[in-house]
Amino acid sequence: MSTLIPVVLSGGSGSRLWPLSRALRPKQFLSITDETTLFQLTLQRLQGIQGDDVAMRPIVVANNDHRFLAGEQCREVGVTPLAILLEPVARNTAPAIAAAAFAALAMAEDAGDDPVLLVLPSDHVFSDVSAFHHAVRVGLKAAEAGALVTFGIVPTHAETGYGYVQAREPLNANQAVSVSRFVEKPDLPTAQAYVDDGSYTWNSGMFMFKASVFLQELAQADPAMHQACQAAWAHAQKDLEFVRLDKAAFASSPANSVDYAVMEKTQHAVVVPLDAGWNDVGAWSAVWQVLPQDAQGNAQRGDVMLEGTTGSYVHADSRLVALIGVKDLVVVETSDAVLVVHKDKTQDVKKVVDQLKASHRAEAEQHREVFRPWGSYDSVDQGGRFQVKRIKVNPGAKLSLQMHHHRAEHWVVVTGTAKVRLGDEYRLVTENESVYIPVGTVHSLENPGKVPLHLIEVQSGSYLGEDDIVRMEDLYGRA
C-alpha cells in the first residue's frame, strides 16, 4: 500500500473576502467561519483518514510572503509538515503540485515508495468530515491503481460560479467512475441542465494520484512545465524550516491550473462524488451560508446589534456595529476599513481590491496590525513626524539587530519583560519602565520570558517608513 501524503495548497489571495482578507494575510490564514483558521481546519480534517493513530504529515506549498504564517499555524495545531515548499513566484496550481510531487518522490526514495498525493486547497470547509474521509478512501483505491482522481461535489443547485465534471457512467459514492469531460463555468440555463442530468458534479479543485503518475502525465501534456519544476526542486535551498524552490527555474514554468495542464488531457481521469457539506467560502455570501443564522436569517460575528434586519451578515472586528431596518446586506468592519455590499454583489468586492492596488493603497496589502515571525505590531496613531505602535513579542522571540537612519524610538513596556540591546550594552526593561533608542543606534529587542511581551513604541523623526530598517542579524533569515 502506498504512503498517502496530503499536499496543502496555501498560496491564494482571497481578494473577494476583503477587508478581512489582505494580500499579506489572506483568507486561508484567517478565522472566517470558526475560531480556527481555514488553513488549520484543513490540517485538522486530515486526521482520522487512515485511522486515528496515524499522524498525517502534509507537504505545504506556500507563498514566500506567507511562510511564517504557515509555519506558525502548523505549530499551533500540532502538525509537523514533511516540508513547507516556498513558491518564489505565482504559477497557478499545476507547477505547485508538480514541485510537491518531485519533493514527495525524493522523500520516499529510500523506502522505494511511490506515494499517493491528496491535493487540497487550504480555504474550503466541510460540515461532514466523515463523508470527506469516506470519499478519500474511495479515491485512494483508484489512485493506487494508476488513476488520476478528481473529487466532484454533488451539486445542491444550479451554480454558475463553478466548473463542472461530467461522469461517463452513473455516479456512485463507493466507486470512482471515468470522467467524460471537464466543462467551464456555465450560464444559468446550462447549469440547471447539468443538475437535472445527474451525471455532473462541481469541480472542487481537490485531486488524488500517485506522484509518479501525475509527473508522467505532466511530462506528456506540458514538457516545459515538467522540466522547469524538476529543475526548481533539484536546485531548491533549505532555509530554516522551509524549502525555497529555485526562483529562475520555477519562474520559467508556464503558469497553468492542474485542470488545464493535466486533468483535461489525460485518459485516466476518474471522479469520486463528494457530498459532505462543501463550501469554498469564495465570497461573503458563502460565509453567510455556512454560519449559524438567527430566526431572521442573520449571521454575525463580533460586537453586533441588529434591529429590524433580515438576511444579512455582519462582521465586527474592533468596535460595535449596528444595523437597523435593512435586509440582504453584508457589513464587514476592521480597524482600518469598512465594507457594505448587497449580498447579491459580493463577487464584485474584487473590483474594489483592484482599485486599491491600482492606487497603491496599503489596505490592499495588509491590515493595520501587521504580523511578523516574532509577533505583531499595530500602528495606533501617526502624524507628520511621529508614529505610535503597539508591539507584541512572542515568548522566546527576538527582533532583528538593526538601526534606523531617520528615526528615534522610545519603548514603554506594558506587560512582560524585554531584553534590550543598545549598542554593546544589554539591559532588562520590565513593566512601567522605558528605554530610548537614538537615531543611528544599533539595537535589538527580545522576549526572554514565558508570556507575551507588550510594549508601546513611539517613533519620531523625518521619515518613519518600514524600509528605514538596516538589519545586521536576524533569526528569521531577513538580514
Q: Supply the DSSP string of 412-425, one letter for each residue.
A: EEEES-EEEEETTE
Do 227 and 310 belong to one domain? no
Give the CATH number of the domain where residue 36 resides.
3.90.550.10
Q: How many domains does the chain have?
A: 3
Q: In the listed set 306, 326, 353, which residue is the last one of a domain according to the structure?
A: 353
Which residues have a Cβ under 8 Å from the Cβ of 296 and sit 6 or more positions away? 306, 309, 310, 311
Give the end of a domain, one of 231, 252, 279.
279
This prediction has a pTM of: 0.88
d(C-alpha 184, C-alpha 199), whole Å: 15
Q: What is the pLDDT of residue 53?
A: 64
In terms of domains, do 320 and 400 share one? no
Q: DSSP string covering 67-127, please? A: HHHHHHHHHHTT---SEEEEESS---HHHHHHHHHHHHHHHHGGGT--PEEEEEESS-EES
In this structure, are strands 4-9 and 59-63 parallel, antiparallel, or unpaired?
Answer: parallel
pLDDT value at residue 467: 87
In a domain, 220, yes or no: yes
Question: Do 78 and 115 share a domain, yes or no?
Answer: yes
What pLDDT digit, counting tens, does each position of 272-293 carry?
Answer: 999 999 999 999 999 999 999 9
- Whether residue 479 has pLDDT greater than 70: no
CA angle 288–294–297, rounded 5-degree value:
55
Q: What is the pLDDT of residue 54?
A: 65
Q: Tell me the CA end-to-end span of the chain in Å, nearest whole number.
A: 45
Pairing between β-strand 278-279 and β-strand 242-244 as defined by DSSP bridges:
unpaired
Domain membership flag for residue 335 = yes
| CA torsion, ordered 357, 361, 365, 367, to nearest 10 deg | -150
Give domain status of residue 62, yes or no: yes
Cell (9 digits) for 420:
534590550
CATH of residue 416's domain is 2.60.120.10
Q: Does the residue 362 lie in any domain?
A: no
**pLDDT confidence band for 371 (50 / 70 / 90):** confident
Q: What is the three-state SS of 211-249?
A: HHHHHHHHHHHCHHHHHHHHHHHHCCEEECCEEECCHHH
Concatenated DSSP letters for 59-78?
A: EEEEEGGGHHHHHHHHHHTT
Do the domain assignments include residue 83?
Answer: yes
Does residue 363 fall inside a structural domain? no
Please report the pLDDT score of residue 370 as a whole number: 86
3-class state of residue 272 by DSSP? strand
> CB-based contacts of 297: which residues, under 8 Å, 6+ apart?
310, 311, 312
Q: Which three cell numbers stand for residue 137?
A: 478512501
- Whether residues 444 and 411 fall in one domain: yes
The Cα-based distances of 99 to 49, 94, 189, 235 in angstroms read: 24, 9, 39, 11
In a domain, 243, yes or no: yes
- Whether 227 and 164 map to the same domain: the answer is yes
| Helix (H) / strand (E) containing 331 | strand 329-333
- Is pLDDT above 70 for 134? yes
Coil, strand or helix at 53: coil
pLDDT of residue 111: 66
Least confident of 37-51, 99-113, 133-147: 99-113
- pLDDT for residue 172: 87
Residue 59 grid coordinates: 507537504
User: Above pLDDT 70, what percent of the chain?
Assistant: 98
- Cβ neighbours for 474, distance < 8 A, ≥ 6 positions apart: 400, 401
Lowest mean pLDDT among 253-262, 313-322, 367-376, 418-427: 367-376
Q: Residues 443, 422: contact at Cβ < 8 Å?
A: yes
Helix H, strand E, coil C: the string for 159-213 is CCCCCEEEECCCCECCECEEEEEEECCCCHHHHHHHHHHCCEEEEEEEEEEEHHH
> 65 and 203 share a domain?
yes
Domain span at 315: 291-353
d(CA 6, CA 400): 34
Query: What is the DSSP code (8-state) at residue 22?
Result: B
Local structure of 40: helix, strand or coil: helix
DSSP characters over 286-297:
HHHHHS---TTS
Confidence of residue 113 (pLDDT cuts 50, 70, 90): confident
Based on the fold, state whether residues 345 and 268 are members of the same structural domain. Answer: no
**What is the distance between the alpha carbons of residues 379 and 460, in angstroms, rounded to a whole number?**
13
Identify whether 88 is preceded by a cis peptide bond (ω within 30 of 0).
no
Q: How many residues does the chain have?
A: 479
**Contacting residues for 314 by C-beta, under 8 A, at least 6 apart:** 298, 299, 300, 301, 302, 304, 306, 321, 323, 330, 331, 332
Query: Cα separation of 453 and 396, whole Å?
Result: 10
Query: In this structure, are 237 and 382 located in the same domain?
Result: no
**Residue 112 and residue 136 in one domain:** yes
From 328, 353, 378, the end of a domain falls on 353
Q: Is the pLDDT of residue 194 over 90?
A: yes
Does residue 340 fall inside a structural domain?
A: yes
Q: Are residues 192 and 341 in the same domain?
A: no
Using pLDDT thresholds of 50, 70 and 90, give the confidence band for residue 457.
very high
Q: Are residues 142 and 11 in the same domain?
A: yes
Read off the pLDDT of residues 157-177 as tens digits, 9 standing for 90 and up. Answer: 998 889 999 999 999 889 999
Give the 3-state secondary structure of residue 400: coil
Is 451 found in the same domain as 418? yes
**What pLDDT digit, counting tens, does each position of 27-68 carry?**
999 999 888 999 999 999 999 888 766 668 999 999 988 998
